[in-house]
């Protein structure tokens, strides 16, 4: 039997409304595995209002606007290829245009060649080296290798409707000065969230800004998925190209992005609405096409069924459900207690903390915002743009909470920030904890004896743990 665990997350404008009253919009759905998602609000006339939720690979890690041609192959945490087809409806509606990110020493030419100059490639702490489909790491989604990638620079001639990567710092002598501007130009990094776990009920809550006008709106949830093929969109429809690493990766581009649109009312009373089928689909241009039989609807996890059909408390079914409600919550939660790093490996760490109260010492908090970054310090500014962690289910005050960070770099310093929030978006004081990951010795994967941009290097630095207090 599948676990029915509701994952809760508050996103969007957490600046909240009045001190003790706020209007919130709850959004429920059950995703399948390995999705890229965004949710935004439009008014009744179709004007973009606000982005309420976006998965971090697109919103924070620059999936739509990064180095490399769009039609490069793909694989687990594939490092190159600007996926301009990932969430095109949202991308063409939010109204922001960014400079396109291209490989250094080019301005978009030769962007199919993934063998980059080592002197223009800095340490990569999230994406993996290209993998062959028959490698064990393909299914595991992780490797012990340290790689280097060309983080690119802003083109002087090309633009993009996707935000650039905001989860990196410039490495002097390796990265272009453009890298320092990536985070500054990305307005979606602070609301980016970890991809919801597949086949588990999920909720995010959008807090309406003060004086948000009553009226009719539409919540649009756009969903994209790699390797989602069917008879209309098979592997031959969009040929891939690759000037290097020919045997690595696979064609990824199948059925295009789909949306689930839910009209709802924002009023003085509580309201609710839902939709049980996808609304339409779109490819690169962001133009919405109505269902026409080209998109799969009868295969769970595919096409128009990328969001599962769920059952509401009243026995009705839905793919996306929206509910607006008025909340009264005057006091901020206490800070979380005693964050402790309890286990550290080369690429992971487990952290525990004590649950605080929602109103001072009383009640269970609405949720936690947990983010991490490289380094050993964190303040409110750096916390906002740090990498989000899948939230943990809040427990009663005084109980132990636990979460694990995965896919970390070896022998790297990390700092984690944790704060609790209540139903009206009041935040607790930020609490931080830092640690250093271990190092394991791995074989050299150098190319021809000389490291290249995606070469694997040997790191043999003794196993040790350093904790800062």
pLDDT (tens digit, 9 = 90+) per residue, 250-299? 999 999 999 999 999 988 889 999 999 999 999 999 999 999 999 999 99
| Of 19-23, 294-298, 302-306, 435-439, minimum mean pLDDT range | 19-23
177 pLDDT tier (thresholds 50, 70, 90) = very high
Count Cβ neighbours within 10 Å for each residue of 275-311 and write b for 16 or more, e otherwise.
beebbbbbbeebebeeeeeebbeeeebbbbbbbbebe
210 pLDDT tier (thresholds 50, 70, 90) = confident
Task: Give the domains, in start order, of the chain with CATH numbers.
Answer: 7-325 (no CATH), 337-438 (2.60.40.10)
Averaged pLDDT score across all residues of the chain: 86
> Residue 53: what are its φ and ψ, rounded to 5°?
-160, 140
pLDDT tens digit sequence for 211-220:
889 999 999 9
Asked if residue 23 lies in contact with residue 266, where contact means CB atoms within 8 angstroms, the answer is yes
- The token duo for 73 is 């192959």
Separation of alpha carbons 250 and 57, rounded Å: 19
pLDDT tens digit sequence for 386-402:
888 877 889 999 999 99
**Any idea how long the chain is?**
469
Sheet holding 320-328, edge to edge: 7-11, 202-207, 21-29, 320-328, 271-275
Smallest CA-to-CA distance from 50 within 39, 40, 60, 58 is with 40
pLDDT reading at 233 higher than 50: yes
Mean pLDDT of 14-21: 49
């Amino acid at each position: 039997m599948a676990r029915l665990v509701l994952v809760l997350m508050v996103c969007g404008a957490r600046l909240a409304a009045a001190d003790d009253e706020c209007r919130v919009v709850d959004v429920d759905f059950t995703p399948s595995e390995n999705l890229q998602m965004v949710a935004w609000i439009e008014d009744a006339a179709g004007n973009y209002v606000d982005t309420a939720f976006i998965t971090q690979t697109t919103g924070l890690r620059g999936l739509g606007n990064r180095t490399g041609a769009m039609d490069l192959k793909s694989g687990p945490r594939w490092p190159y290829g600007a996926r301009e087809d990932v969430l095109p409806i949202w991308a063409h509606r939010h109204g922001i245009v960014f400079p396109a990110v291209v490989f250094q020493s080019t301005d978009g030419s030769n962007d199919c060649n993934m063998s980059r100059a080592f002197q223009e490639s800095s340490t990569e702490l999230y994406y993996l080296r290209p993998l062959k489909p028959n490698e064990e790491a393909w299914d595991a989604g992780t490797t012990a290798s340290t790689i280097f990638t060309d983080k690119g620079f802003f083109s002087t001639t090309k633009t993009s409707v996707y935000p650039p990567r905001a989860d990196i710092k410039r490495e002097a002598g390796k990265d272009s000065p453009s890298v320092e501007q990536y985070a500054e130009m990305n307005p979606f990094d602070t609301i980016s969230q970890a991809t919801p776990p597949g086949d588990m009920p999920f909720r995010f809550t959008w807090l309406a800004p003060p004086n948000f006008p009553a009226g009719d709106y539409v919540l649009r949830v756009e969903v994209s998925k790699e390797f989602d093929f069917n008879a209309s969109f098979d592997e031959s429809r969009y040929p891939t190209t690759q000037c290097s690493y020919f045997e690595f990766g696979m064609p990824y581009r199948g059925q295009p992005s789909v949306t689930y649109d839910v009209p709802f009312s924002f009023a003085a009373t509580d309201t609710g609405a839902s939709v049980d089928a996808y609304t339409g689909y779109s490819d690169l241009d962001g133009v919405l096409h109505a269902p026409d039989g080209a998109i799969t609807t009868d295969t769970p996890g595919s096409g128009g069924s990328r969001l599962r059909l769920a059952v509401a408390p009243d026995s009705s079914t839905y793919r996306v459900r929206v509910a607006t409600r008025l909340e009264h919550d005057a006091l901020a939660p206490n800070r979380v207690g005693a964050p402790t790093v309890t286990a550290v490996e080369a690429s992971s760490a487990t952290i525990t903390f004590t649950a605080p109260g929602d109103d001072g010492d009383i009640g269970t908090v609405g949720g936690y915002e947990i983010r991490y970054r490289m380094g050993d310090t964190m303040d409110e500014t750096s916390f906002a743009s740090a990498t989000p962690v899948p939230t943990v289910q809040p427990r009663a005050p005084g109980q132990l909470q636990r979460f694990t960070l995965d896919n970390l770099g070896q022998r790297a310093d990390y700092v984690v920030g944790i704060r609790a929030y209540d139903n009206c978006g009041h935040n607790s004081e930020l609490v931080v904890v830092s640690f250093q990951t271990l190092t394991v010795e791995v074989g050299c994967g150098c190319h021809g004896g000389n490291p290249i941009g995606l070469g694997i290097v040997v790191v043999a630095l003794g196993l040790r743990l350093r904790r800062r207090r």
